């Protein structure tokens, strides 16, 4: 397996470490994707996190843009961490987790741009200065939504005393002054949540989050439901992407009304296999409810890349096996009515039964 091979359809920067995708948004005639980035190193923790930036018109060809956010202020000197983007009155706003250098206090800050490339940080940062008593020190990943004339910010956190992972809700009229509303959703027996997404979608609402239990592996929860009295009531819940190489998914609603998910395909396990980091972004997947089930399936622009087979995937009597170099194989057992996949160099993404289940693997 050639881990130095340049990927065709899975975005990654030309150099440097990449992890969580941030700030998916349609702005100025382009789809913009930001991401956690260490521009000078191929492994993390060697320098504070930046926001890398790329844009595309079709998700097939990508333009890498200048770094959007540098950790150059006292309040974000320990990193410009994950967040989301939103357009307001022709201006693109980024809300991100800003971590103060010495104390490593996690706060929320704002940057904005009129051209979608050059960003200025708000002089009143941070706009959310710390976690409330319902949360805990792990307090990050602001997810922004505009609903019924009001801006909402969903914060990922956990409460160490109650051992619950929580999503906390804030509201604002202008993206700068934020009021704490309360607990929006929570999960028992968890350390915390991460990487939420929240939006209105048709006559429903979509909420997504990575949930980190105390005694089991993290999972990515996709939920459709109601938003009433500023609380989320789930009606459909699924853990569609089974990994094993998937994390930090973020969903956004595009100009065509599609709910599009892009996740990070992490290269943690492949350190030393290649001279550079092998992590990348997943292909974009449209999130829908089909026959009462949540599905994640490649968007229309990439469906011509789907195939029925791949040398790394072996069909079995009751499922399939994905063989990986130097790692345990991925084994699936279950009924298969339809099986499609996208192969791009050392990355394989498999879609079972129209995207009812997804398997993302570095080979």
Residue with structure tokens 């899975």? 10
Structure-token pair, residue 316: 């079995």
The verdict on whether 254 is a catalytic residue reads: no
What was the pLDDT predicted at 332? 96
Q: Residue 268's pLDDT is what? A: 81
Q: Are 336 and 327 in contact (CB under 8 A)?
A: no
Catalytic residue among 20, 76, 241, 277: 20
Give yes or no for a contact between 112 and 120, defined as CB atoms under 8 angstroms apart: yes
Q: What is the mean pLDDT of each run of 10 residues along the chain (363 residues)?
A: 91 95 96 97 92 97 97 96 97 97 88 98 97 95 96 97 97 97 96 97 95 92 95 95 92 96 90 87 97 97 98 96 92 96 97 97 94
User: Residue 43: its pLDDT value, please?
Assistant: 87
Give residue 320's Cα distance to chain centre: 27
CA-wise closest residue to 246 among 151, 164, 362: 362
pLDDT of residue 62: 96
Locate the domains of the chain by residue range: 17-299
The widest CA-to-CA distance across the chain, in whole angstroms, is 62
Q: In the numeric block, which tokens belong to residue 140? A: 């990050």
Write down the pLDDT at residue 271.
79
Q: Is the peptide bond before 244 cis (omega within 30 degrees of 0)?
A: yes
First-residue to last-residue Cα distance in the chain: 8
pTM confidence score: 0.96
Bridge partners (DSSP) listed for residue 315: 320
3-state class (DSSP) for residue 181: strand
Q: Which fold has domain 17-299?
A: Tachylectin-2; Chain A (2.115.10)
CA distance 151 to 170: 8
Encoded tokens for 330 = 């991925």
Rounded Cα distance, 201 and 147, in Å: 10
């Amino acid at each position: 397996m050639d881990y130095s091979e340049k990927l065709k359809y899975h975005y990654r920067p030309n150099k440097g470490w990449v992890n969580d995708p941030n700030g998916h948004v349609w702005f100025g005639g382009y789809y913009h994707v930001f991401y956690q980035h260490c521009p000078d190193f191929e492994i993390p923790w060697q320098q504070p996190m930046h926001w890398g930036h790329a844009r595309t018109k079709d998700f097939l060809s990508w333009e890498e843009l200048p770094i959007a956010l540098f950790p150059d202020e006292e309040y974000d000197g320990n990193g410009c961490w994950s967040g989301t983007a939103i357009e307001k009155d022709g201006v693109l706003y980024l809300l991100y987790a800003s971590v103060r250098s010495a104390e490593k206090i996690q706060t929320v800050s704002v940057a904005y741009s009129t051209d979608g490339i050059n960003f200025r940080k708000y002089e009143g940062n941070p706009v959310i200065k710390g976690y409330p008593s319902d949360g805990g020190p792990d307090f990050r990943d602001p997810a922004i939504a505009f609903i019924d004339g009001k801006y909402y910010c969903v914060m990922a956190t956990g409460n160490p005393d109650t051992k619950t992972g929580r999503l906390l809700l804030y509201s604002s009229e202008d993206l700068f002054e934020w009021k704490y509303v309360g607990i929006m959703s929570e999960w028992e027996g968890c350390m915390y949540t991460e990487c939420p997404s929240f939006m209105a979608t048709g006559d429903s609402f979509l909420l997504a989050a990575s949930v980190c239990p105390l005694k089991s592996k993290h999972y990515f929860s996709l939920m459709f439901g109601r938003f009433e009295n500023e609380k989320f009531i789930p009606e459909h819940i699924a853990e569609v992407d089974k990994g094993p190489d998937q994390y930090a998914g973020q969903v956004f609603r595009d100009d065509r009304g599609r709910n599009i998910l892009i996740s990070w395909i992490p290269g943690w396990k492949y350190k030393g296999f290649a001279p550079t980091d092998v992590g990348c972004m997943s292909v974009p997947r449209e999130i829908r409810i089909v026959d009462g089930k949540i599905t994640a399936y490649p968007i229309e622009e990439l469906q011509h890349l789907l195939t029925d087979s791949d040398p790394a995937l072996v069909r079995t009597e009751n499922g399939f096996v994905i063989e990986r170099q130097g790692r345990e194989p991925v084994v699936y057992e279950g009924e298969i009515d339809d099986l499609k996949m996208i192969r791009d160099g050392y990355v394989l993404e498999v879609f079972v039964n129209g995207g009812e289940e997804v398997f993302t693997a570095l080979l």
